[in-house]
């Protein structure tokens, strides 16, 4: 039963022998041993919580009235713990249901699509660009950004949206170059973050602290039955392989050449490619468009 009397919270009267999972079972089974009672503390935060009472003795747990979560709490903690409670019934800050951001989409009439692609062909012809341009990632990125921009802001005159050559050179190009350079440096420096496993190196039975890069879904040249798991197999003496121990204490043997090639292909080379292309564009602008 849920009473409305102020709970006696003297430390001497509390029974701390209960664990959270035990209390949860008692509540789910609607046991007569357990009750939830209000605390008439002055803080308004108590309107959201009730004290858990077992066998008429208040225990060191409270229950949230909104999300029904039970968590540890003691009197001397005051209400600070209660205020920090992230109620599961509330959406996280700055989040909303996905449907809030989803717009109902209708299929584009085929006639409109045909007309759009005719304009693309005509535009490429005017600028003497090959039709293969539409297959490039750069063109697709530009096209997608323009589509998104129009969807968000409505129909606009192109001259009011896209800068002319001089402004692109003076304002956009230096900014994009610096941002890309920073991203490449950051990606290389943090290559051991979420995409890679941080491992402890094992050498002749002695564990030395070192870092190895291992993509968890790195294609294996071994019989790896668990797709997406680290490449694991018995240690080899081949110098092309290094033996690691993962966070769970399992032996992991990794072909160094394969890992290094993966890092270069997925991080270093693409980033340097973009930087090199921007640098060439920089030089062309300096030579011809001063």
The per-residue pLDDT for 119 is 92
Residue with tokens 């921007």: 278
Closest CA to 46 of 21, 20, 70, 78: 78
| Residue 84 in tokens | 């920090």
Q: In what order do the strands lie in the sheet with 70-72?
A: 34-37, 49-54, 57-64, 70-72
Residue with tokens 């399992």: 250
Task: At 252, give phi and psi (nearest 5°).
Answer: -135, 125
Distance set, CA 228 to CA 192, 216, 255 (Å): 17, 6, 16
The per-residue pLDDT for 188 is 60
Distance set, CA 11 to CA 46, 59, 63, 73, 75 (Å): 19, 10, 19, 12, 8
**Can you give the pTM of this predicted structure?**
0.39
| Residue 166 in tokens | 């001089």
From first to last of its 290 residues, the chain has per-residue pLDDT tens of 333 333 334 343 444 566 777 777 777 777 778 788 787 677 777 778 888 888 777 787 888 888 877 777 777 666 776 777 777 655 444 444 444 444 556 788 899 999 999 999 998 888 888 899 899 888 988 899 998 888 888 888 988 889 988 888 888 878 877 777 777 666 666 554 444 443 333 333 333 333 333 333 333 443 334 333 333 333 344 444 444 444 455 554 444 444 455 555 555 556 666 767 767 766 666 665 55
Distance set, CA 48 to CA 107, 130, 143 (Å): 47, 66, 50
Parallel, antiparallel or unpaired: strands 241-245 and 57-64: unpaired
The per-residue pLDDT for 76 is 65
């Amino acid at each position: 039963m849920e009473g409305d009397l102020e709970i006696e919270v003297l430390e001497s009267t509390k029974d701390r022998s209960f664990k959270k999972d035990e209390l949860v079972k008692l509540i789910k089974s609607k046991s007569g041993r357990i009750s939830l009672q209000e605390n008439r503390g002055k803080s308004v935060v108590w309107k959201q919580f009730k004290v858990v009472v077992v066998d008429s003795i208040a225990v060191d747990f409270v229950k949230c009235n909104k999300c029904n979560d039970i968590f540890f709490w003691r009197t001397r903690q005051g209400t600070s713990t209660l205020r920090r409670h992230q109620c599961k019934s509330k959406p996280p800050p700055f989040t909303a249901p996905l449907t809030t951001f989803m717009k109902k989409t209708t299929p584009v009439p085929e006639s409109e699509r045909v007309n759009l692609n005719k304009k693309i062909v005509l535009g490429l012809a005017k600028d003497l660009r090959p039709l293969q341009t539409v297959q490039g990632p750069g063109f697709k990125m530009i096209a997608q950004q323009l589509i998104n921009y129009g969807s968000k802001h409505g129909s606009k005159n192109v001259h009011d949206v896209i800068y002319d050559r001089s402004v692109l050179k003076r304002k956009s190009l230096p900014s994009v170059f610096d941002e890309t350079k920073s991203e490449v440096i950051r990606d290389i420096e943090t290559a051991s973050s979420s995409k890679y496993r941080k491992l402890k190196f094992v050498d002749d039975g002695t564990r030395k602290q070192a870092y190895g890069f291992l993509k968890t879904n790195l294609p294996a040249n071994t019989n790896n039955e668990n797709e997406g798991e680290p490449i694991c197999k018995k240690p080899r003496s081949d110098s092309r392989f290094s033996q690691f121990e993962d966070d769970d204490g399992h032996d992991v043997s990794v072909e160094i050449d394969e890992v290094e090639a993966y890092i270069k292909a997925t991080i270093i080379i693409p980033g340097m490619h973009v930087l090199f292309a921007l640098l060439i564009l920089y030089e062309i602008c300096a030579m011809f468009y001063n």
